[in-house]
Amino acid sequence: MYDFKGKVALITGAARGIGRAIALELAQGGAALALNDVNEAAAGEAIELAVKAGSPKAKFYKFDVADSAACDGAVSAVVEEFGGLHVLVNNAGISIDALLMRFKDEDWKKTLDINLTGAFHLMRSASRPLMKAKGASIVNIASVVGEMGNAGQAAYSASKGALIALTKTVARELASRSVRVNAVAPGFIDTPMTQALPEAARAKMFEAIPLARLGTPQDIADCVAWLASEKSSYVTGAVIRVNGGMYM
């Protein structure tokens, strides 16, 4: 457990899965939480769990990360409500899968708008309050397919690969102001989506993972918590692979 007492964290896509696990891990360290999602009901559950886990204050912010003005407004509201911002976790994302020749323009745009441009919006909006925090951290949730590619995931792979490049650029820009910017690249994670796959598909996934198991949301949350904490104070511009060895 890391010490996040007195720290405020904004986490997008925080209602379920990886985002919720991250929220609960930071809550256990005493962080105050601003949780974003489009699923209000699931976000309400996450808020309750976060408070039980140890967060002194947790509040839900419903906004579309693809909307630049909404991101500006949300960050301003968080800073006003909580008195500052110390950690930003860009976790919100979608995956629309199809082979290249069948991929629709609108699906390409939607995927990049949320996965890539949304992270850009929030990093830009949050940069000033994070610089004032002196020792702040941004963690972007990328993906193993952003490094190795994956058939049928042109838009998702492109968005996550570009997010890695954006992470490194922003890390260089904000380093002089003591804001660290890193990315976590998960592999196959055990979520309701992967649990619903046919057994043959799951078996094929296992074959690609040297550690022979799917990752868990907690595996990702543990890494994010380290990057958000002062224990990683000399780490910036890094891409931490949490993928069981499927890409090295």
3-class state of residue 10 by DSSP: strand
- Longest CA–CA span in the chain (Å) reads 51
Whole-angstrom distance, CA of residue 45 vs CA of residue 195: 22
2 has catalytic annotation: no
Instruction: Give dist(CA 43, CA 134) in Å, integer.
Output: 29
For CA atoms 169, 170, 171, 173, give the dihedral sign. positive
10 and 119 Cβ atoms separated by less than 8 Å? no
| Residue 248 burial (C-beta neighbours within 10 Å; 0-12, 13-18, 19+) | exposed
Select which of 2, 61, 156, 234 is catalytic. 156
Among 25, 38, 174, 40, CA closest to 94 = 38
Instruction: Write out the two tokens for 142.
Output: 């990328």
Quick one: CA torsion of 28, 29, 34, 35, rounded to 10 degrees? -40
At residue 124's C-alpha, the angle toward residues 43 and 85, to 5°, is 55
* DSSP 8-class letter at 123: H
DSSP per position, 165-197: HHHHHHHHHHGGGT-EEEEEEE-SB-SHHHHTS
Residues labelled catalytic: 156
